[in-house]
C-alpha cells in the first residue's frame, strides 16, 4: 500500500474527516501533486454532478403554482357550498321518501312488485334470445 492510498481514501470521505485528519491531509496535498490533481478532479466532478441534480425552476414557476393554488381554493369554496346544498336537498328527499314509506307502505310494496315483475320479464326475454342464438349455432 502506497503512502497516497491512505490519502486517496481520505479524499473520498473529505467531509467526514476530523480536525487532525484534515490537518494531515492538507499537509500531504501541499506536497503531493498527484493527490492534489485527484482532489481537484473530484471537486470538479461533484460540482458537475450537483449542477445536474439540482435544477432551478423555470421562469414563472412560482407564479404559476401560486395562481393554481389560488384558483383551486376559490373553486373549492364554491364546490363545497354547492355540494353542501345538494347534500341537504338529497337528505330532504330521503326523509320525505321515508315518511311516505312509513305512512303508505303499500305504495312502496306495489313499486317493488312492479320492479320485480320487470326484472323477471327482462331476464326471461333475454334467456329466450340467448337460447335461440345457441340453437341457431347447433
- Report the distance separating Cα 5 and Cα 11, nearest Å: 10
Domain-wise residue ranges, the chain = 3-53, 59-102, 104-138
Q: Cell numbers of 6, please?
A: 491512505
Res. 62 pLDDT band, cuts 50 70 90: confident
pLDDT of 46 above 80: no
- Report the distance separating Cα 103 and Cα 97, nearest Å: 10
Looking at residue 95, its pLDDT comes to 92
63-111 pLDDT, tens digit per residue, is 888 888 777 766 655 556 667 788 889 999 999 988 887 888 777 777 7
Looking at residue 86, its pLDDT comes to 83
Average pLDDT, the chain: 78
Q: Percentages helix, strand, coil for the chain, rounded to the nearest 5?
A: 90, 0, 10
- Report the distance separating Cα 47 and Cα 53, nearest Å: 10
DSSP state of 58: P
Contact 43, 32 (CB under 8 A): no
Looking at residue 12, its pLDDT comes to 77
Indicate the pTM of the whole model. Answer: 0.35
Nearest to 22 by CA among 32, 33, 10, 5: 10
Amino acid at each position: 500500500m502506497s503512502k497516497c492510498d491512505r490519502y486517496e481514501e481520505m479524499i473520498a470521505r473529505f467531509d467526514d474527516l476530523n480536525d487532525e485528519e484534515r490537518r494531515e491531509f492538507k499537509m500531504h496535498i501541499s506536497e503531493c501533486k498527484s493527490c492534489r490533481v485527484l482532489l481537484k478532479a473530484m471537486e470538479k466532478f461533484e460540482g458537475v454532478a450537483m449542477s445536474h441534480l439540482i435544477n432551478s425552476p423555470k421562469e414563472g414557476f412560482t407564479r404559476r403554482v401560486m395562481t393554481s393554488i389560488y384558483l383551486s381554493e376559490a373553486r373549492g369554496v364554491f364546490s363545497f357550498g354547492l355540494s353542501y346544498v345538494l347534500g341537504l336537498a338529497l337528505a330532504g328527499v330521503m326523509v320525505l321518501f321515508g315518511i311516505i314509506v312509513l305512512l303508505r307502505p303499500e305504495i312502496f310494496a306495489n313499486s317493488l312488485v312492479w320492479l320485480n315483475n320487470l326484472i323477471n320479464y327482462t331476464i326471461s326475454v333475454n334467456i329466450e334470445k340467448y337460447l335461440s342464438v345457441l340453437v341457431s349455432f347447433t
